[in-house]
């Protein structure tokens, strides 16, 4: 049970907590999920989700989903563990198996790397969930072609491209989202595909703890979303959850405390393979894959530029998805790394007038934006802690724009060509290399062919 008003902390001291406990989880016949946790002996949290189910679940369906419910419980707990980052984790029920333990040790350490770095903590958290080795296992099952696919939609360009790939294979394709944010709803409408919608409610006590001094910051949210999608897929008879994670998500931002700190860690290929092994260990029939994994963000942007039916629907700016409604933007903020990167990636394949219409302004004609664009190529610092592409992709886009008569006289493009590109001679940022597909992926052959067709690769 969530703590009541009497147990809300007036002041929160993370050092006062030595353990984090996974206390209880439940899946009700109507698709209601409760996930409960404890920090020390004092604080109790319960997260609540509603999952769409085709009919009231019987006892057999609930029992079949128990492995994925357990996995979701363990993965979602990172949102509450981060409040204090205690050294020990304990379980009131059975602990995770070896594959799940490897996944959790990565998510609760490298997955919280940005949080630890930004909060100037002395080191990464490194809780142990089991005694097994930490090396990422190779998938034991051969990739299988999807027959019924649930495609996660975030409202950005990547998920729109992923949506276009799956139906080509003949797979029945249904969309999935947590919540119904406007860009997600518009993208689903543009795709003209059915959608299953889940809801997620963090325990309000967590926000009280944050206000009182708890450790707060970025969590491996994609892993949580994927686990919610997997459980939803299992309950609705889907064999595949398709995510829109691409190859640049595997590249980190900087090195610290003996690890690569990656804002997108839970989107990376390492995390994908760890999760795949944990799902297989759970006994579930459903599998997850990252349909865009071989592609760079620049290759995805090139394909998306031709999908104009999505251009009035999508928004990649994360300001729209802030938890606090008072801080939530209604459209592109035009002043964050994500806005700049998406503009930069689309520009070589779009006209200035078209992009200005989408974003509400021409960012490459705004001299005040120069430093932000330069930082995308790590000029003057590390790649921003945002879902942006590799430095090589930004350099490749800059090279293309410098030679494009539509863009080369824009003030920001002129400065990038003059001040950034000379410091990165070819083959750095070679457009041909950046646009080529990688062999590092776990896609089945037919789906890979469908991806090549959509990307024009």
List, for residues 7-62, the tens digit of each pLDDT value. 667 789 999 999 999 999 999 999 999 999 999 998 999 999 999 999 999 999 99
User: What are the tens digits of pLDDT across the range 126-137?
Assistant: 999 985 444 445
Task: Dump pLDDT digits (tens) for 174-209.
Answer: 999 999 999 999 999 999 999 999 999 999 999 999
**Domain assignment of residue 452, yes or no:** no
Residue 133 is predicted with a pLDDT of 46
> Within a domain: residue 455?
no
CA dihedral angle for residue 319, residue 267, residue 390, residue 252, rounded to 10 degrees: 100
Per the prediction, the chain carries an average pLDDT of 91
Q: Give a yes or no: residue 395 inside a domain.
A: yes
261 & 229 share domain: yes
Counting DSSP H helices and E strands in the chain, the numbers are 18, 11
320: pLDDT confidence band, cut at 50, 70 and 90?
low
Instruction: Report the b/e string of 296-328 with b at 16+ CB within 10 A.
Output: bbbbbbbbbbebeebbebbbbbbbbbeeeeeee
* 8 Å CB contact between 292 and 158: yes
The answer, yes or no, to whether residue 104 has pLDDT greater than 80, is yes
Instruction: Report how far residue 253's alpha carbon sits from residue 251's, in angstroms, rounded to the nearest whole number.
Output: 7
Looking at the fold, whether 325 and 346 belong to one and the same domain comes out as yes
Percent of the chain, pLDDT > 90? 82
In a domain, 453, yes or no: no
Q: Going by DSSP bridges, is the β-strand pair 254-256/259-261 parallel, antiparallel, or unpaired?
A: antiparallel
Same domain, 205 and 250: yes
Q: Using pLDDT thresholds of 50, 70 and 90, give the confidence band for residue 325.
A: low
Task: Please report which helix (H) or strand (E) contains residue 50, including its range.
Answer: strand 43-50
Do residues 170 and 254 share a domain? yes
Confidence of residue 380 (pLDDT cuts 50, 70, 90): low
Of 228, 255, 290, the one marking the end of a domain is: 290
Same domain, 270 and 329: no
Q: Is residue 107 part of a domain?
A: yes
| Owning domain of residue 166 | 5-123+146-290
Residue ending a domain, among 246, 262, 290, is 290
| Distance (Å, whole) CA 370 – CA 344 | 12
Choice between 169 and 28, residue whose per-residue pLDDT is larger:
28
How does pLDDT run across 424-444, given as a tens digit for each residue?
999 999 999 999 999 999 999
Nearest 10 degrees: Cα torsion 219, 223, 225, 229: -170
Provide the pairing of β-strand 195-201 with 172-178. parallel
CB neighbourhood size of 31 (10 A): 20
* Window from 95-109, 110-124, 385-399 with minimum mean pLDDT: 385-399
DSSP-assigned letters across all residues of 157-194: HHHHHHHHHGGGGT-EEEEEEES--HHHHHHHHHHT--
227 and 76 Cβ atoms separated by less than 8 Å = yes
300: left (phi over 0), alpha (psi -120 to 50) or beta: alpha
Dihedral over Cα of 131, 133, 134, 138: its sign: negative
Q: What is the pLDDT of residue 321?
A: 54
Give the predicted TM-score (pTM) of the model.
0.92
Report whether 83 contacts 39 (CB < 8 A).
Answer: yes
Q: Which pLDDT belongs to residue 143? A: 78
**pLDDT above 60: residue 3:** no
250 shares a domain with 265: yes
How far is it, in rounded angstroms, from Cα 68 to Cα 283? 8
Confidence of residue 149 (pLDDT cuts 50, 70, 90): very high
CA distance 343 to 412: 12
Q: Is the pLDDT of residue 327 over 60?
A: no
Same domain, 28 and 158: yes
In a domain, 101, yes or no: yes
Mean pLDDT of 118-146: 76
Q: What is the pLDDT, as a whole number, of residue 328?
A: 44
CA distance 136 to 221: 20
What letter would DSSP give residue 418? I
* Nearest CA among 102, 93, 88, 86 for reference residue 35: 93
pLDDT band at 140 (very low <50, low <70, confident <90, very high): low
Which pLDDT score is estimated for 272?
97
At which of 260, 290, 320 does a domain end? 290
In what helix (H) or strand (E) does residue 21 lie, and over which residues does it extend? strand 19-27
For 170, 215, 328, 366, the CA distances from 354, given in Å and listed in that order, are 33, 42, 25, 16
SS3 call for 219: coil
* Phi/psi at 234 (5° precision): -60, -40
pLDDT: is 169 or 212 the higher one?
212
Nearest residue to 124 (alpha-carbon basis) of 205, 220, 35? 220
Asked if the structure places residue 157 within a domain, the reply is yes
One domain, residues 346 and 279: no
Q: What mean pLDDT do residues 147-152 have?
A: 96
Tell me how many domains the chain contains: 2
275-284, 288-297, 318-327, 360-369: segment of lowest average pLDDT: 318-327
Residues whose CB is less than 8 angstroms from the CB of residue 398 and which lie 6 or more positions away in sequence, other chains included: 344, 377, 413, 416, 417, 420, 421, 429
Domain check: are 407 and 302 in the same one?
yes
Q: Does residue 318 have a pLDDT over 90?
A: no
Domain shared by 11 and 60, yes or no: yes
Is residue 279 domain-shared with residue 370, that is, in the same domain?
no
The span from the CA of 32 to the CA of 8, in Å, is 25
Query: Taking residues 308-318, what's their average pLDDT?
Result: 89
Give me the pLDDT at residue 134, please. Answer: 47
pLDDT at residue number 442 = 94
The band of 382, judged by pLDDT with boundaries at 50, 70 and 90, is confident
Please report, for residues 130, 133, 219, 278, the alpha-carbon distance to residue 90 in angstroms, rounded to integers and kept in the order given. Answer: 11, 19, 20, 19
* Residue 141 maps to a domain: no
Q: Give the mean pLDDT of 364-371.
A: 95
Rounded to a whole number of angstroms, the distance between the first and last alpha carbons of the chain is 52
Q: Based on the domain organization, do 208 and 333 belong to the same domain?
A: no
């Amino acid at each position: 049970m969530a703590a009541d008003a009497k147990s809300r902390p007036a002041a929160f001291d993370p050092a006062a907590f030595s353990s984090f406990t996974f206390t209880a989880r439940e899946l009700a016949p109507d698709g209601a999920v409760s996930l409960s946790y404890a920090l020390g002996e004092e604080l109790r949290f319960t997260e609540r989700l509603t999952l769409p189910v085709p009919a009231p679940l019987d006892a057999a369906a609930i029992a079949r989903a128990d492995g994925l419910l357990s996995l979701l419980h363990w993965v979602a707990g990172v949102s509450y563990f981060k409040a204090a980052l205690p050294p020990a984790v304990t379980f009131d029920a059975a602990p995770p198996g070896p594959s799940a333990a490897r996944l959790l040790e990565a998510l609760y350490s490298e997955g919280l790397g940005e949080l630890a770095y930004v909060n100037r903590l002395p080191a990464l958290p490194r809780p142990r969930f089991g005694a097994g080795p930490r090396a990422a296992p190779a998938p034991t099952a051969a990739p299988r072609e999807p027959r019924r696919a649930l495609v996660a939609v975030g409202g950005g360009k990547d998920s729109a491209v992923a949506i276009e790939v799956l139906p080509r294979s003949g797979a029945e394709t249904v969309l999935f989202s947590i919540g119904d944010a406007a860009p997600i709803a518009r993208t689903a409408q543009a795709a003209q595909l059915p959608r299953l919608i889940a809801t997620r409610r963090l325990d309000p006590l967590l926000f009280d703890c944050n206000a009182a001094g708890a450790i707060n910051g970025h969590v491996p949210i994609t892993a949580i979303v994927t686990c919610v999608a997997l459980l939803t897929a299992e309950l609705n008879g889907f064999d595949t959850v398709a995510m829109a994670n691409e190859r640049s998500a595997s590249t980190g931002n900087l090195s610290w405390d003996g690890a690569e700190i990656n804002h997108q860690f839970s989107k990376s290929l390492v995390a994908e393979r760890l999760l795949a092994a944990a799902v297989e260990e759970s006994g579930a029939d459903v599998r997850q894959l990252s349909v865009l994994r071989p592609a760079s963000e620049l290759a995805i942007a090139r394909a998306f530029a031709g999908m104009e039916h999505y251009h009035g629907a999508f928004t990649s700016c994360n300001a729209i998805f802030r938890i606090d409604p008072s801080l939530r933007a209604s459209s592109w903020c035009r002043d964050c790394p994500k806005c700049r990167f998406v503009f930069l990636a689309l520009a070589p394949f779009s006209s200035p007038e078209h992009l200005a219409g989408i974003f509400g302004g021409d960012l490459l004609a705004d001299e005040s934006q120069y430093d932000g664009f330069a930082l995308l190529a790590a000029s003057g610092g590390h790649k921003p802690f945002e879902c942006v592409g590799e430095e090589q992709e930004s350099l490749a886009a800059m090279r293309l724009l410098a030679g494009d008569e539509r863009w080369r006289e824009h003030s920001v493009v002129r400065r990038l060509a003059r001040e950034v590109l000379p410091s990165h001679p070819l083959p750095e940022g070679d457009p041909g290399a950046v646009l080529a597909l990688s062999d590092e992926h776990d896609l089945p052959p037919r789906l890979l062919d469908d991806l090549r067709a959509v990307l024009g690769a």
